[in-house]
Amino acid sequence: MRAAVSQREVAGATKFDRPIGRNDQETDQLVASVLADIAEKVLWTEATPQNLAAAIGKARGKPFSVRSAERYLAGDRDWSSDAVAVIVAEILKRHAMRNVKVRGR
């Protein structure tokens, strides 16, 4: 009995609906523009692509190109999970949550 209830709860918890009037592409573009704005206006107001590339490279453990960081910021490239994790980690660091560590996959 308990297993049946647990399976039902998981099935219901994993299903979600998109906001009304938005499709996957619009939502992805909205998230990408928010990430770019946070990186450029809040985290690294000067030399944003260079700082973003350095942070991603440090998290991955290998160099990351400034040109690729520029593409993320311009919206010409989908944000990788490493890039998103770097931005989230930087936000958390600046808000005194220093126990968060970004690890590459």
Give tens-digit pLDDT for 55-78.
999 999 999 999 999 999 998 888
**Of the candidates 98, 23, 38, 24, which has an alpha carbon nearest to the alpha carbon of residue 72?**
38
User: Is-contact 54 39, C-beta < 8 A?
Assistant: no
- Helices (H), ranges, 1-105: 2-13, 24-38, 48-60, 66-74, 81-94
Q: Give the pLDDT of residue 44.
A: 86
Instruction: Kindly report the number of other CB atoms within 10 A of residue 4's CB atom.
Output: 8
- What pLDDT sits at residue 62? 92
pLDDT at 6 over 70: no
